[in-house]
Structure formats: structure tokens, C-alpha cells
Amino acid sequence: MSETFDLVEKGHLKPISPIQLFSFDKIPSALRLMRSSKHIGKIIITRASELNLKVPVCRASLSINLRTSVSYLIVGGLRGLCSTLAIHLAKKGAKHLVVLSRSGGGDQRSEQVIANIRALGCEVHVIRGDVTCVNDVRNAFQSTHVPIGGIIQGAMVLRVSKLHTESPFVRIPTDRKFQDRPFTSMTIDEYQAALNCKVQGTWNLHNISLEQDLSLDFFTMLSSISGIYGSKGQANYAAANTFLDAFALYRQGLGLPACSVDLGVVVDIGYMAEREDLRNRYDESIWHVIDEKALCRIFELSMHQQGGTPINAQSAAQMITGLRVPQPSDSLLSRDARFTGLFSQGRTAGNQALDHRGPKDLESILVMIRSNAGARAILDTTTQIMNKYLMKILRVSDSLDFARPLSAYGIDSLAAVEVRNFLKVELRVELTTLEIINSLTLISICERVVKELSKMK
């Protein structure tokens, strides 16, 4: 130390330079420079000589107030998204939780969550029951010594088990499992099984809460973005979530609290986190992934939307999450006028359609056909257009081998539905999914497309 001070006194050791000064109102710029790791020397935040400095500040986060004199009912068990929300309620001061699920807990994951909740000083009562059975719901409401003060409806059915067959609404062999499939090949039982836990179950929760004249702080329903945009092979699930969106508006029309939360891609917990094949369907340039922290924040915002002064009254009944803003120009959402506002400013509904590659591609093929261009040139153009599209949905970086069948690239019935929809909407050509799956090569599909388009000239 003595030697160091001696070097300083003699001027051999000097302050690090250069020094870049930023005033308090330029703190974001200073942090961006530091984050870039391209600066040399020191970054100094200073008031400098400015006397009347106005510094931008972030608005304080809204907090939630939970009553200790009521219970909060969670429908959906403690193994998925509801487990995160249950722990979050306990952290925020809830003292009584009631959990209704078909399994009733008992598994390792649920027991760990229960232990965590109780460690936070919160009582948790797990009840085995089916939300589609009104008596099970009534039992859940009556099982606690304090009244229910809030509800999270997180029930979801995508697979069939023995428990499901006990419901009066669904009768399916116990050894059968749901698989994603097009609506046209979906049985009525498969459709209703996914529908009833959200439709009939939500009606049961609503009616029993009115029957007992309860004053609820919130009635939050975990819906999905699939109810807005759709989901390949899950028309039943999408329809169920669309009902939740409408039901929230219905309850608010009655002067009752309600909010449907359309969740996007949740990455680290829940059904989506366990299904890599589902996650791979979502392009991260379009969809913004949601982690547990964001999920809890979204839930808190849904509670504020149900208060006396919602954050945004126009969207108080429905929150849509997980969409990136702005959307990339080639986003599949650009086909739907409802999503126009998600794109960069300056794009209108009129010029957006022209900017999308599909109509341009259709026009280019038709122009070649009308001008009697060579058959080979028309086929080559069509093949290139289809190749670009298939590379996008299959998420491959290399061009497809035009001589190979599409099945070689993993085109199943669900992907074939998407290809069929593209051909119908963008190129106005109708092919069946079987024709797409059983096609010998990409070229053979393109030959069929050219043949159909030739009839339009």
C-alpha cells in the first residue's frame, strides 16, 4: 500500500481514462454503451452543472392486495401453471388455498408444491374432483371454513384417462389417448372432452359462486392464444379457449369480476414445456415466450383488470399475451386483418396485403401463365415459391430436394393441413391433405398447382 501511494503521489498512477460523462437524464444511454462492451475507460453519471434536471423514472409496479379472511380456489391441480400461481398467491399474503383437480394430488411434484406453500404460512386444501361435475364444485366451495374470495380456472384436458371417463359428459375407452388431429377427423367425444372442462366447468364455478352469494376479488380464467390464432390439430382446445374469452365479457356485463388471459408460449412450466413438438411449432420471431416470472406478473395484471379502475377498460375482460410487437413483415399473422396493429407503424390494412409474399407470388405465376411463358419457367417459379414456404414451416435452412417426397421432410397430417391452407388462401388452389402427404415429389404438387392456376387465366 505504501508503495502504491508513493506511485500515486509521484504521478505515475493516474485515474483511468478516458472518462465519459452522462447526466442523470441520460442514464439509459450510459447503460446501453456499457452493455455494448465497446467503451474504453470509465462511464460517469453526474448532475454536472444542470440545476433544473428532469429525470425520467419508471412507474412503480402495481401491487395486489389479498385478503387473509378468504380462500382462493385454484382449479387445475399443482403440476403445471397453477402450481406457480398457487405459490405466488402464498408469497403475496394468501392464507387459505383450495385446489380442485381430477387427480387430487399425491404425486411428488404436487407434494413439493404443497410443502412450499405451507412453508410460506398458507393453508392449502387439495380436493379430488371434476370441475365438470357440479356436485364436485359445490363440495370444493363448501370444504373450507372461510368463504371463497377468488377463483383461478386453469382446468385443461388434452388426454383421456380413467378420470375423464367418470365425467357424465365424456365416454371414451380408458386405454385411448388424445392425439392432435385435424378437426375433420376428430370424434365428437374427443372434441367434447377438451371442451367441457372449460365450458361446463366454468359455468359450474360461475353458478355455484352466485348460489353462495360470494364476493369475489377475481375470476381469472387461463385461456390460450390458440383461441385467437388457432392451433394445428387442436380445434377443440382452441374452441374451448374462445369460450373463456367470451365468458369473461359476459360476467363483466353482469357487473362481476372476470378476466380471460390468453397465454402464449410458456417455456419453463406446464404442458407446453413438456412438449418439445408443440414448442417447435412457434416461431420466436412472432411469439414472445413467457417464463414463470412473466406468468405471475400477467396474473397480477389480470387482477387489476378486474378491479374498480382497470388498467385498460377496453381490454378489461381479455388479455392477449405472447405476441411480439412489432411483428416481422413476413409473419403469418399478416394474413389476418385483426393483427394489423402489431406490425410496424405506417403499414395499413391495404398495403399490408400487398406487402405479404403470398399475393405477390400468386400474381407472378398468373402473369407468367397469361403471357404464355414456357411451361418449364412457370413450373420453376412455382417450385421456388413452394420451396420458400416449406422451408419456413419446416424450419430448415437448406433448400428442399424437389425430387424427394414431402413425407421425407416430416410432413404429417397436421403440417399437411397448414400447407393446404396456404395453397387455398394464398394461391387459391384446393388440394386435400392426402394429396399433399402422398405426393411423390414437391414438383408433382407444383404441377398440380400450375394446372389449377391455368384455369384462372
92 burial level (CB within 10 Å; 0-12, 13-18, 19+):
middle
**Is 209 in contact with 216 (CB distance < 8 Å)?**
yes
How much is the average pLDDT of 283-308? 88
Task: Using alpha carbons, select from 354, 375, 362 the residue that is nearest to residue 453.
Answer: 362
Task: State the CB neighbour count (10 A cutoff) for residue 294.
Answer: 17
Residues 452, 457: Cα–Cα separation, whole Å: 10
- The confidence score (pLDDT) of residue 73 equals 97
How much is the pLDDT for 274? 63
At 324 the three-state DSSP class reads coil
Domain boundaries, the chain: 2-46, 71-320, 357-454
Query: What residues form DSSP beta bridges with 19?
Result: 42
Q: Which cell numbers hold the place of 319?
A: 388479455
Q: How many residues does the chain have?
A: 457
pLDDT of residue 448: 85
User: Alpha helices, DSSP H only, in 306-348?
Assistant: none
Q: What's the angle, vertex CA 40, arms to CA 37 and CA 41, rounded to 5?
A: 125
CATH of domain 357-454: 1.10.1200
Q: What's the longest Cα–Cα distance across the chain?
A: 93
Contacts with 86 (C-beta within 8 Å, 6 or more apart), sequence order: 74, 78, 97, 99, 113, 117, 124
Sort residue 42 into left (φ over 0), alpha (ψ -120 to 50) or beta: beta
| Helix ranges, 254-356 (H) | 271-274, 276-279, 292-305, 349-355
Q: Tell me how far apart the alpha carbons of residues 204 and 219 are, in angstroms, rounded to a whole number.
A: 13
Q: Give residue-wise pLDDT tens across range 335-388.
A: 778 888 888 654 444 444 434 444 566 677 878 888 878 888 888 888 888 888
Average pLDDT, the chain: 82
The amino acid occupying position 211 is E
3-state secondary structure of 197: coil
Q: How far apart are the first and last CA of the chain?
A: 89
Q: Which residues of 409-429 are buried (b: 16+ CB within 10 A; e: fewer)?
A: bebebbbbbbbbebbeebbeb
Fold classified for 71-320: Rossmann fold (3.40.50)
The string of DSSP codes covering 396-439 is: -SSPP-TTS-GGGGT--HHHHHHHHHHHHHHS-----HHHHHT-
CA 269/CA 255 separation, integer angstroms: 33
Query: Whole-angstrom Cα distance, residue 99 to residue 114?
Result: 10
Asked if 99 contacts 84 with a C-beta cutoff of 8 angstroms, the reply is no
pLDDT band at 277 (very low <50, low <70, confident <90, very high): low
Q: What is the pLDDT of residues 74-105, one digit of tens each?
A: 999 898 899 999 999 999 999 999 999 988 77
Torsion of CA 153, 159, 162, 167, to 10 degrees: 50
CB 171 within 8 A of CB 164: no
Ranked by mean pLDDT, which of 58-72, 176-190, 350-364 comes out on top?
Answer: 58-72
What is the rounded CA–CA span in Å between residue 202 and residue 209?
Answer: 11
Residue 426's alpha-carbon distances to 353, 366, 389, 444, in angstroms, are 11, 12, 11, 19
Band (pLDDT 50/70/90 cuts) for residue 402 is confident
Contact 262, 318 (CB under 8 A): yes
With residue 208 as reference, give the H or E element that holds it.
helix 199-211
**What distances in angstroms separate CA 208 from CA 72, 86, 126, one per listed residue?**
14, 22, 18
Alpha carbon distance 82, 74 (integer Å):
7
pLDDT in tens, 218-244: 999 999 988 888 777 788 999 999 999
User: Could you give the CA distance from residue 263 to residue 70 in angstroms, rounded to a whole number?
Assistant: 27
As given in the structure block, the three cell numbers for residue 336 are 389476418
**pLDDT tens digits along 244-258:** 999 999 999 999 999
Of 31-45, 251-265, 339-353, 406-420, the range with the highest mean pLDDT is 251-265
Query: Is this structure's pTM higher than 0.85?
Result: no
Distance CA 182, CA 336 (A): 21
Q: Which residue bears the cell 400450375?
A: 450
Give the pLDDT score at 317: 93
If one counts every other C-beta atom within 10 angstroms of the C-beta of residue 155, the result is: 26
Assess contact for 22 and 45: CB atoms under 8 A. yes
- Residue 154 pLDDT: 93
Average pLDDT over residues 189-196: 88
